[in-house]
C-alpha cells in the first residue's frame, strides 16, 4: 500500500472494468475498495460480515431480501449504506456509478452464496490498484 495520499479520481481513472473492485488501501484487516458499476450485479450474501457502500458518483440501487420482505434502497452521490451480514442483496446502477466499499480483506465480491455469475461480474477479493 502507498504511504502517500491517493486521489480517488485518479484511481478511478486508472481502470475501466465494471464490477471489478480495486483495493485503494487497507485499514487494519479491512480493504478500502473502489469500483465502477453499471447494470446489475448478482444476488449474493456475506454470511460473516457487513458490507459498507459509499457512492462517489452516480446513483446505486441495492435490492435487499429481508425477513419482512424485499425492498430496494436508493443511494445518490454522497450517500452511505451498510448491508448487514447475512442479508441477501443485489446492487445495480441503471445509469452507472462509482462506489467505495469497506470490507474485511479477502471478502469475495460475489459473497459466500450467489446465483450463477454473468460474464460482466468479476469474482474477486479485489485487484491491486495500478500505480
Q: What is the pTM of this model?
A: 0.91
62-73: average pLDDT = 96
Average pLDDT, the chain: 91
Q: What is the 3-state secondary structure (H, E, C) of the chain?
A: CCCCCCCHHHHHHCCCCECCCEEEEEECCEEEEEEEEEEECCCEECCCCCEEEEEEEEEEEEEEEECCEEEEEEEECCCEEEECCCCEEEEEEEEEEEEEEEEECCCCCCCCEECCCCCCCCCCCCEECCC
Percent of the chain with pLDDT over 70: 95
In this prediction, residue 74 carries a pLDDT of 98
Domain annotation covers residue 119: no
Domain of residue 100 covers 8-113
Identify whether 122 is part of a domain.
no
**CATH number of the domain that 35 lies in?**
2.60.120.10
Q: What is the pLDDT of residues 2-51, one digit of tens each?
A: 788 999 999 999 999 999 999 999 999 999 999 999 999 999 999 999 99
Amino acid at each position: 500500500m502507498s504511504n502517500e495520499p491517493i486521489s480517488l479520481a485518479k484511481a478511478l481513472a486508472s481502470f475501466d472494468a465494471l464490477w471489478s473492485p480495486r483495493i485503494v488501501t487497507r485499514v487494519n484487516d479491512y480493504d478500502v475498495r473502489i469500483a465502477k458499476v453499471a447494470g446489475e450485479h448478482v444476488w449474493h450474501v456475506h454470511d460473516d460480515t457487513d458490507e459498507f457502500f459509499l457512492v462517489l458518483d452516480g446513483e446505486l440501487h441495492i435490492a435487499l431480501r429481508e425477513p419482512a420482505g424485499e425492498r430496494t434502497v436508493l443511494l445518490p452521490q454522497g450517500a452511505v449504506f451498510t448491508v448487514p451480514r447475512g442479508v441477501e442483496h443485489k446492487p445495480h446502477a441503471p445509469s452507472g456509478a462509482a462506489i467505495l466499499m469497506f470490507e474485511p480483506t479477502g471478502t469475495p465480491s460475489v459473497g459466500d452464496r450467489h446465483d450463477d455469475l454473468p460474464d460482466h461480474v468479476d469474482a474477486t477479493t479485489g485487484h491491486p490498484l495500478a500505480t
